[in-house]
Amino acid sequence: MQYQSGFANHFESEAVAGSLPQGQNSPKKPLQGLYPEQLSGSAFTVDRSKNLRSWLYRIRPSVVHQPYESYEHQTWNSLVAHSEETNPQQLRWKPLPEPKKNLDFIDGVFTMAATQEKPGVAVHHYLCNQGMGKKFFYNADGELILIPSQGALQIQTEMGVLEIEPQEIAVIPRGIKFQINPKQAGWCRGYLGENTGAPLTLPSLGPLGANALANPRDFLYPVADYHEGQGDYQVVVKFSHSFWQMPLKHHPLDVVAWHGNYAPYKYDLRKFNTMGTVSYDHPDPSIYTVLTSPSFSPGVANLDFVIFPPRWLVGENTFRPPYYHRNIMSEYMGLIHGVYDAKQEGFVPGGASLHNCMSAHGPDAETFAKAIENSESPQKIEDTMAFMFETCHIYHPTHLALSSSALDRDYWGCWQNLKSYFNKG
Ligand SMILES: [Fe+2]
């Protein structure tokens, strides 16, 4: 696979030599007969540091399609109409089981929770066991962050191809047309975040300095790769939280060359430069932020994408698992790989937990009992990768998620054996 690197760089790529105009975006007579088309990911007038746009040079402009028709999606519901079911209870789900019917990536999206605030966040899980064929997709409501936990995916986009496997992620910005197919035979499972707020960006590093956390050069972008097919194609569209489809007679991924800073990208979570204490106590988990979508309040995230990667624990006289806490931010967690250090069992790859605003949580009783007896020696947490979607809004679980057989109705029980150690001395 060939990629270009650097977070939000201004890239240029051409699949046919000489197809990318030089010195201007929109020449009077297009090069090689290609139509120039601009795709804006920000208002034209936002600050230059936040301005996102790409120029696409394509065989036909995107406007060549038949009228939009409605499309039925049974399980993708970012409006959470059943919010009356939301309560502060801590929730946990087992992984969704292997699908019993043929399911492509789009139809396999299953919404677990969403914020009612728009812009906000929706969290989905996905299952798929077949490719999308002549079906494609774009999301006008927000950008998508893909987090596979089982099975590698090939992502064909207007800008080219990305491939990801578990412990890698991909982000597909709003409006970009794509198709996702399992890379190998078998079925795939993972998580899908839908961010309808400001586009994800790298967090500020503050006193950490110029190098830490996710390094910009580890973000990889595709190179131009086009298709010339004729036939009955379909682009499914999510627009204003409902679904549509537009039929067309040519392959929708027909971009021969492009340039700009608005494009899909991938990142290998194993490259994260993890920070932590070298003296005592834990820093807050914001230290593990990979990408952030800022809200209108400085320092408050509409969405933080946070990971818990392999790392050394060396804090002296320190309770080393995550501390007990109640936060104003709401937390949706998933496990991509291995074991999570705050839970001995019940939280497995493909599963999830939801701890909403001010609902208490922390290690289970068994983890606590072990941790207070642990030796002071440095300890490495290996073979693990958990993540969290943290938002300043409330997550409303969907009716489907609350009525799913994957819901762990005994989750509350994992804390009930936390006994009193109180001793007046
Ligand atoms: Fe938490």
Q: Which pLDDT score, from 0 to 100, does residue 139 have? A: 98
Give the whole-angstrom CA distance, residue 148 versus residue 410. Answer: 26
| Structural domain includes residue 159 | no
Q: Which of 266, 271, 293 is nearest to 147 (CA)?
A: 266
* CA 323 to ligand 1 centroid distance, Å: 9
223 pLDDT more than 90: yes
| Structural domain includes residue 61 | no
* CA 50 to ligand 1 centroid distance, Å: 30
Average pLDDT over residues 182-200: 97
Q: Provide the pLDDT confidence category of residue 234 given band limits of 50, 70 and 90.
A: very high
Q: Point out which residues pair with 305 in neighbouring strands.
A: 291, 389
| Structural domain includes residue 176 | no
Reported as a single tens digit per residue, the pLDDT across 283-314 is 999 999 999 999 999 999 999 999 999 999 99
* CATH classification at residue 379: 2.60.120.10
Where in the sequence is the domain holding 333, given as residue range(s)? 270-406
* CA 330 to ligand 1 centroid distance, Å: 8
Number of domains in the chain: 1
What is 215-284 written as a DSSP string?
-GGG-EEE-------EEEEEEEEEETTEEEEEEEEE-S--EEEEEES---EEEEGGG-B----SSSSPPP
Give CA separation, 321 vs 187, 204, 342, 371, in Å: 33, 26, 6, 7
Q: Which of 387, 343, 348, 350 is nearest to 366 (CA)?
A: 343
Helix (H, G, I), strand (E, B) or coil at 9: coil
Q: Which of 253, 231, 245, 248 is nearest to 65 (CA)?
A: 248
Q: Which pLDDT score, from 0 to 100, does residue 81 have? A: 67
Question: What does the angle CA 64 – CA 57 – CA 7 come to, to the nearest 5 degrees?
Answer: 120
Q: Which of 136, 172, 109, 106 is nearest to 247 (CA)?
A: 136
Q: Are 352 and 90 in contact (CB under 8 A)?
A: no
* CA 354 to ligand 1 centroid distance, Å: 9
94 pLDDT more than 90: yes
Q: Which of 113, 108, 165 is nearest to 137 (CA)?
A: 108
| Structural domain includes residue 313 | yes
344 pLDDT more than 80: no
Q: Provide the pLDDT confidence category of residue 398 given band limits of 50, 70 and 90.
A: very high
* CA 352 to ligand 1 centroid distance, Å: 13
Average pLDDT over residues 184-208: 97
Q: Which pLDDT score, from 0 to 100, does residue 345 have? A: 78
* CA 93 to ligand 1 centroid distance, Å: 16
What 8-state DSSP symbol labels residue 402?
Answer: H
27 upstream amide cis, omega within 30 of 0: no
342 pLDDT more than 80: no
| Structural domain includes residue 388 | yes
Give the whole-angstrom CA distance, residue 61 versus residue 255. Answer: 9
Of the listed 10, 282, 361, 399, which one is catalytic?
282
Lowest average pLDDT, out of 186-200, 332-346, 350-364, goes to 332-346
Q: What is the dihedral of CA 9, 14, 15, 21, to 10 degrees?
A: 150
Average pLDDT over residues 271-289: 96
| Structural domain includes residue 86 | no
Reported as a single tens digit per residue, the pLDDT across 46-74 is 999 999 999 999 999 999 999 999 999 99
| Structural domain includes residue 118 | no
| Structural domain includes residue 274 | yes
By 3-state DSSP, what share of the chain in percent is helix, strand and coil, each rounded to 5?
10, 40, 55
Q: Are 143 and 42 in contact (CB under 8 A)?
A: no
Q: Provide the pLDDT confidence category of residue 341 given band limits of 50, 70 and 90.
A: confident
Would you call 65 a catalytic residue per the annotation?
no
**Strand 135-139, strand 230-239: pairing:** parallel
Average pLDDT over residues 121-125: 98
* CA 289 to ligand 1 centroid distance, Å: 14
Give the whole-angstrom CA distance, residue 39 versus residue 263. Answer: 10
- What integer best gives the mean pLDDT of the chain? 96
Q: Which pLDDT score, from 0 to 100, does residue 40 have? A: 98
* CA 285 to ligand 1 centroid distance, Å: 8
- Beta-carbon-side half-sphere exposure of residue 89 (alpha carbons within 13 Å): 15
85 pLDDT more than 90: no
Q: Which pLDDT score, from 0 to 100, does residue 82 have? A: 63
